[in-house]
Chain A
C-alpha cells in the first residue's frame, strides 16, 4: 500500500513537471507563431500600400502616355449611349440593359 502511494505521488509530480515543461514549450511555439504572423501581416500591409501606389491614376496615365504612346480622348470623342428599353413583349428575357460607351472616332464616318 505504501509503495503504491509513493508511486502515485511520483506520478503526480511527474505529470505536474511534464505539464509545466510542456506549457513552456507551447509558450515558445506561440510566441514564434505570433512573430511569424506579425511579419506576414506587415508584409501584407506593405504589399497593399505598394499595390495602391502602383495603381495610382497618375502613374497609370503617365505610363500610358509616355511608354505606350496613348493619349487622352479629345473633346467630343467620347459619347455615352444608353440603350433604350424595348416594349416588354419584345425584349428577350434574360438580357439586361447595358450602357454602351462608344468612342466617336470608332463610329462609321458620316453618322454625325
Chain B
C-alpha cells in the first residue's frame, strides 16, 4: 500500500505528521517552559490552602492565679452571597441566633460581593446553636475573643482589647507586646474533594501564644474596695470616686478602683470618659491631706517638732491680702495638734517657715509633679508649678493643699513613703510575665525610688497622723484592733464658670495606712463632689475604715491595738 503511494503524497503525509508533532512540541514548550511558573502556582492554589494562624492572646491573672482576662476561640460567621439560594429564608434562620435583625442580614446576603461578615466573635452558646444549622453559602471561621470573667471588676486597670485582639486600654494596652500571640502562615495540602490532607512542612511548630501576666492585684481585696467605694459614692450621691490600696513596703498595687465602673466585655457603647483610669490620670487639689507631707518636710528640716507651739490666730489670718480661715477659732496649739485638727493657719505658718525652696524640694522628693512610672498607660503628672511662678500666697496655699494638682496615685505613693520609713517606692501592677508553658520570663522586683525623709521623721509623722484618727478629724477612719495613721482632706473645686473656688463642689479624701506600727496597707479614698456632708472625715474616712478592717482580716494581719469597749459598741 505504502509502496503504491506516490513520492509526493509521502512527503505530504510526513509533513502532516511533523506538523502534528510540531504543535505538540510547541504546546509542551509553552506549558512546561513559558507558562511553567504561572501554571505551577495555579496548581498549588488548587491543591494547597494557606491559613493564617495566630497564637492565643496571653491570660491575665491576679496574684493568686485567678483569671481576670482570657482568650477563647469562638466562631465568626460570614456569608458568600452569590451561593445563597434564599437570602430571606437564611436571614430568618440566622437572625435569632446571631441577634441581628432579619432585614439587615438579608441586605448583606443580597450584596454583590463574594464575602460578607454577618457576625463576629459569637458567644460559645451562640456557636453551638449555629452548629446545628447547615446553610448553603454560610461559613464559619474561628477567632480569639477576649473574655473578662469578673465583669466590671478591675476594669479600669485591665482595660480591654479591640475586635482584632489588640490591647486598647490599661494593662491590655501597656503590655501589648507581651500579650499578643505570634502570627504565622501555614500551607495545607488538599485532596480532590477539598479536604485537608496534612500540612506541608508538618513538623513546623504552631504559632506561639502570647505571654501570661500575673498582677499584684488581689481579686478579693479589689472586690472589697469596689463594693465599699460604689456604696460610698452612691450614698454621698457623688460624681465619682477613686480608691487605691498599696503595699507600702513594695509599692505593689493590691487594688485600684474607680466608680462608676464599666464592663470591659461590652465597651462599644461607652464613651472614653467612662473607662479613663482617674486614679492616675486626673489631678485634683488634695486639700489637707497635703499637710502630712508638709509636716514631714518641716520635721525633717527641724523647722518644727511635734511639740512646737503654734498660734492659731483665733481662726483667721491675713496672707498676701487674702484671708486664710480655720474651721474653729484656735489659740496656742502644738504642731501635732495643727495636723490633728487640720488647722490651715498652723500649716500655712509652718510652710512659710519652711520656705518655698525647701517646700518645693520636698514636693518633688515625694513625687508630686512627676509620673510615678507605674506600668499603666495615660498617667498624668499633676500640677506643681516652678517656684519662680509662685505668687505671694503660694507657699501658704500649697502647705494646705491648694495651688497644686496631684493624682490619687501620687498622693497614696507619698503617704506610703511615710509608712515605709521614708522610702518612696515605685508603684507597679504586673509582678510576673510567664510564657505559655508557665516558665517565668520576667519577675518584677520592688523598686526603691529614693529616701524622702529619715526613719525618725517617718515615726514622728506616723505618731502625729495616728492622732488624727484617735483625736482629730479622721476618727471615722479608725479600725477596731488596729493603730491607724492618716489624714483627711476636704478641698474646694475650682468653679469653671467663675475661675474661683466653688462653695458647693468639693473633693473629700482620706489617705493613710495601717497597722501604724508595721504598715501592711497604704490606702487613699477620693470622693468627687459628694452632696450633703462633704467633709473627708465624714465621707471618705469611713470607707477607709471598712475596707481596712476587711482587708487586714483577709490578710490575717494580727491586731496591734486593744479593742476598746467604745469601738466594740460602734457595731
Contacts and interface: CB of A to CB of B under 8 A. Distances in A.
Interface of A: 23-24, 26-28, 30-31, 38, 41-42, 45-46, 48-50, 52-53, 55-58, 61, 72, 74-82, 99, 101, 104, 112
A58 B149 contact: no
A80 B66 contact: no
B553 A80 contact: yes
Given A48-B67, A80-B552, A53 B149 contact: yes
B34 interface: no
Interface string B515-558: 00000000000000000000000000000011001101100111
Interface in B165-215: 189, 191, 195-198, 202
Nearest to A60: B223
B220 interface: yes
Given A27-B198, A57-B219, A80-B552, A42 B571 contact: no
A81 B22 CA distance: 103
B339 interface: no
Contacts of B481: 76, 79-80
Given A38-B73, A45-B73, A49-B70, A75 B150 contact: no
B66 A52 contact: yes
State the main secondary structure of chain B at its contact with A: mixed
Contacts of A24: 191, 197
B54 to A, nearest CB: 13
B72 A49 contact: yes
Given A49-B147, A53-B149, A80-B553, A31 B571 contact: no
A52 B67 contact: yes
B553 A28 contact: no
Contacts of A76: 480-481, 563, 567-568, 570-571
A57 B220 contact: yes
Interface in B46-71: 66-67, 70-71
A78 B553 contact: yes
Contact of B568 (A26, A56, A58, A104): A104
Contact of A53 (B73, B150, B195, B570): B150
B280 interface: no
B198 A112 contact: no
A41 B73 CA distance: 9
Given A46-B124, A75-B570, A112-B565, A99 B67 contact: no
A80 B558 contact: yes
B153 A99 contact: no
Contacts of B545: 75
Contacts of A82: 558
A27 B570 contact: no
A30 B150 contact: no
- Interface-centre pick from B73, B151, B198, B557 (highest chain A CB count, 10 A): B198
A81 B558 contact: yes
Nearest to B226: A58
Nearest to B568: A76
Interface string B71-98: 1110000000000000000000000000
23 contacts: A30-B198, A30-B202, A38-B73, A41-B73, A45-B72, A52-B70, A52-B150, A56-B150, A56-B223, A57-B150, A57-B219, A57-B220, A58-B153, A75-B480, A75-B546, A76-B480, A76-B571, A77-B571, A79-B563, A80-B481, A80-B553, A80-B557, A99-B556
B223 A58 contact: yes
B341 to A, nearest CB: 25
A61 B227 CA distance: 10
Given A30-B198, A31-B196, A45-B70, A78 B549 contact: yes
A82 B73 CA distance: 47
Contact of B549 (A38, A46, A48, A75): A75
Given A52-B67, A76-B570, A78-B549, A57 B223 contact: yes
B42 interface: no
B559 interface: yes
A49 B149 CA distance: 6
Nearest to B67: A52
A73 to B, nearest CB: 8
A21 to B, nearest CB: 12
A48 B70 CA distance: 9
Given A31-B196, A58-B150, 11 more contacts: A27-B189, A30-B202, A38-B73, A42-B72, A42-B73, A48-B70, A57-B220, A58-B153, A61-B227, A75-B570, A80-B558
Contacts of B70: 45, 48-49, 52
Nearest to A77: B571
A12 to B, nearest CB: 24
Interface in B123-168: 124, 142, 147, 149-151, 153
B567 to A, nearest CB: 5
A26 B198 CA distance: 9
Contacts of B223: 56-58, 61
A46 B72 contact: yes
A82 B557 CA distance: 8
- Interface-centre pick from B153, B202, B545, B549 (highest chain A CB count, 10 A): B549
Given A42-B72, A52-B70, A79-B563, A101 B556 contact: yes
- Interface-centre pick from B195, B220, B481, B545 (highest chain A CB count, 10 A): B481
Contacts of B568: 76, 104, 112
A27 B197 contact: yes
Nearest to A41: B73
A49 B148 CA distance: 8
Contacts of B124: 46
Nearest to B480: A76
A53 B123 CA distance: 14
A72 B224 CA distance: 11
A31 to B, nearest CB: 5
Given A42-B72, A52-B70, A52-B149, A99 B198 contact: no
Contacts of B567: 75-76
- Interface-centre pick from A23, A30, A49 (highest chain B CB count, 10 A): A49
